[in-house]
């Protein structure tokens, strides 16, 4: 069975500050991990994915995430927050032969000018 836990339902950062959104996963098989972003009144857009290649994954809009098996984590980071990064962020996991995705409860990111 797979699941993800996102710590912190709301995160606020100043413009230009580091963004860190936390995700821990549980999986009985080697996982595939994903981060999605949801802007207001829009659908879910894939930011990046980990599929057992490089542990440091770079995505769109300057985001990256590092897969740490020892910590069962896949935290999302961005060195410098921009106002346009304000959105809801979802971590998701599936098994390597998995069909279904399991989403976290989401983290709402606010960027303060």
Partner 1 sequence: EPEVTQTPSHQVTQMGQEVILRCVPISNHLYFYWYRQILGQKVEFLVSFYNNEISEKSEIFDDQFSVERPDGSNFTLKIRSTKLEDSAMYFCASRSDVGADGYTFGSGTRLTVV
Q: Which residues would be at the binding site for partner 1 (CB under 8 A)?
A: 32, 34, 36, 42-46, 49, 51, 90, 92, 96-106
Q: Which is nearer to partner 1, 81 or 104 (CB)?
A: 104
Q: Which is nearer to partner 1, 26 or 45 (CB)?
A: 45
- Looking at the chain, the number of H-run helices and the number of E-run strands are 0, 12
Q: Which is nearer to partner 1, 27 or 81 (CB)?
A: 27
Q: What is d(CA 27, CA 38) in angstroms, rounded to the nearest whole number?
A: 24
Q: What is d(CA 7, CA 64) in angstroms, rounded to the nearest whole number?
A: 17
Q: Write the burial class of residue 99 (CB in 10 Å: 0-12 exposed, 13-18 middle, 19+ buried).
A: exposed
| Least CB distance to partner 1 at residue 108 (A) | 10
| Least CB distance to partner 1 at residue 15 (A) | 26
| Least CB distance to partner 1 at residue 72 (A) | 19
- How far is C-alpha 37 from the geometric centre of its chain's CA atoms? 8
């Amino acid at each position: 069975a797979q699941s993800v836990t996102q710590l912190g339902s709301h995160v606020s950062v100043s413009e230009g500050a580091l963004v860190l959104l936390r995700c821990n996963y549980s999986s009985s098989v080697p996982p595939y991990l994903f981060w999605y972003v949801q802007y207001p009144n829009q659908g879910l857009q894939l930011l990046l994915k980990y599929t057992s290649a490089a542990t440091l994954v770079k995505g769109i809009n300057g985001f990256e995430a590092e897969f740490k098996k020892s910590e069962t984590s896949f935290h999302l980071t961005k060195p410098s927050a921009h106002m346009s990064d304000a959105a809801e962020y979802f971590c998701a996991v599936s098994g390597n032969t998995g069909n279904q995705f399991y989403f976290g409860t989401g983290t709402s990111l606010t960027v303060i000018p």
